Every structure is written in C-alpha cells, then in structure tokens.
Amino acid sequence: MTVSHLTTRFAPSPTGWLHLGHAHSALTAFRTAQDLNGQFLLRMENIDPSRCRPEYEAAIFEDLAWLGLSWESPVRRQSEHAPYYAAGLARLSALGVLYPCFCTRRDIATEISRMGFAPHAGETLPYPGTCRNVPPEDAAQRMADGQPYALRINVARALSITGPLSWLDAQAGPQKAMPARLGDAILARKDVPMSYHLCVTMDDALQGVTHIIRGHDLFEATHLHRLLQALLGYDAPQYRHHPLLCNENGQKLSKRDGAITIRDLRAQGLCPADVRARAGIADR
C-alpha cells in the first residue's frame, strides 16, 4: 500500500449535536489524511430511524465545514443501502455462523443472574448463549409463528472458520483479536434489520478505508469487527483508537450527558481555531 491510497473517515450518527469529542476524532482523521496525501471521507451512520434526525445531519455538515474540514462526495448514508447489508448478512448465514435469538432483555438478565454473574455499574455482560443450541426446526417454527427474534453471530463457530486473528493499533500496538469477549453479538433485529457492527465493517471495506481512527471507547468492538472482516473476505485496515476527551469529572464527553456542543461554542462567539484548540487539535 502506498500513502496515496490512504483513506480515513469520520462516521457519526445524526442523533444529536456534535461536541468537542466528535471534533477531536474528525480532525484527527482529517489531519492524518492531509499529512499523508490521502483522502478523508464523511459517512452518516443513520440506520436507526427512531433516533436519527435530518436537522442533526444538516448540523454535522455545517459544523465540520465551519471547523475547516472538507470531504469526498457523495456522502454515504447507511439508511440508503439496506440491500447491501442484507447481502452481507446472507453471506454470513450461508457460512452457518448466525442463529435466531428469541430472548428479551429480561430473559438475558435472568439467565445471567441464574448463572451467578453480577455486572458492575455500567458493565454489560456478554450474552449467555441461551438460544445458541435451539434445534433448527424449533427455531424455524418459532419464526414462522411470528415470534420476535434477533440474529446473533456464533462466535465460536465463526472462529473455527477464520482461525486466530489480529490487528495493529497505532496507539496500543499489535493486538490479538478476542471477539468472544463481546459474546454472540446481535447483527440484525426486527426493528433495525442491520447492526452497527455489520454496517461499519461492510462500509469501511466498500469505501476502501485503510486507516480507521476513532475513540478508545470503540476499541473492544474491533475484536468483533476483525472477525466479520475475516468472514466476509476483507483486508484488515490499520487502527488508531485515540484517547477520549473528558469533562472536569473525568467522564467522557457524550451527547446523553449534555456535553457542550460545537453549536454552543459557535454561539458564544468562538472562532474555528479556538474550537479546534479546545478539541485538542491546535493549529500548526
């Protein structure tokens, strides 16, 4: 690979206004592409119609342009490509690594409790595998009867196909992929027929993203993404999971916690250079 082929991206979900943490991630990816004569992509991860809003998407374009970023056109919107993701799901199904899960959240919590596990505050324990060994004929009948279900990946079976996997992280160094840490993750459900994990993996491959630069909060997800890449025949990109920006209490900036937004800072009269500096990306 030559540096002229380097491609980075910023892929927000339009579910709220951008804050400084988003700006840090977007600017880091943009600067990397600039420094290495590559290209920078913007993608809208808007697969959840119940949370995504057009006004948030419009604000993302506006805020990023105001910060001085530019990107390739057209911008890919995941909501416009459901057949593409369905085809990927079908490929995984043909490999025999998917199974229907009929468990509710309450069912899963009850089973985890029965097994004697008690998650710490804020911790989510992996799915205990309740439906993994449901006989195929029973599962087919329950689906035919209209019982709600999600499609999960059988990680153990998938790893038996791919063998050991790894990736290189620019911050943390060589990593051994351990997708079992996330359990048998959901790849599709009735209300959202494709998951973040499936869509981001397929889109990065389709768009030729060679360097995935994102926050450390997505580090664990990379274990699963490497498994999906191997199953679908994609090359492994390089990764950089950068440290997160935190508030005065040491908590990561987030939409749900009301982190100050780029729009707020603009309304206060700050210039783009000031906001870039607050995002940890000072001008050179």
Q: Which residues of the chain have pLDDT under 70?
A: 1-4, 115-124
pLDDT given for residue 107 in this prediction: 85
pLDDT at 119: 47
pLDDT value for 121: 43
Return the pLDDT at 248: 76
Tally of CB atoms within 10 A around 103: 19
The contacts of residue 82 (CB under 8 Å, 6+ apart) are 193, 194
pTM over the 0.85 mark:
yes
Q: Which domains does the chain have, with CATH numbers?
A: 1-80+245-284 (3.40.50.620), 82-207+218-236 (3.90.800.10)
Q: Specify the pLDDT at position 101.
A: 96
pLDDT in tens, 257-269: 778 999 999 999 9
What are 197-241's pLDDT values in tens digits?
999 999 999 999 999 999 999 999 999 999 999 999 999 999 999
Q: What is the pLDDT of residue 282?
A: 86
pLDDT the model gives residue 259:
81
Q: Determine which helix (DSSP H) or strand (DSSP E) holds 276, and give its type and residue range.
A: helix 272-278
pLDDT at 1: 37
Burial class (CB in 10 A: 0-12, 13-18, 19+), 227: buried
pLDDT attached to residue 193:
85
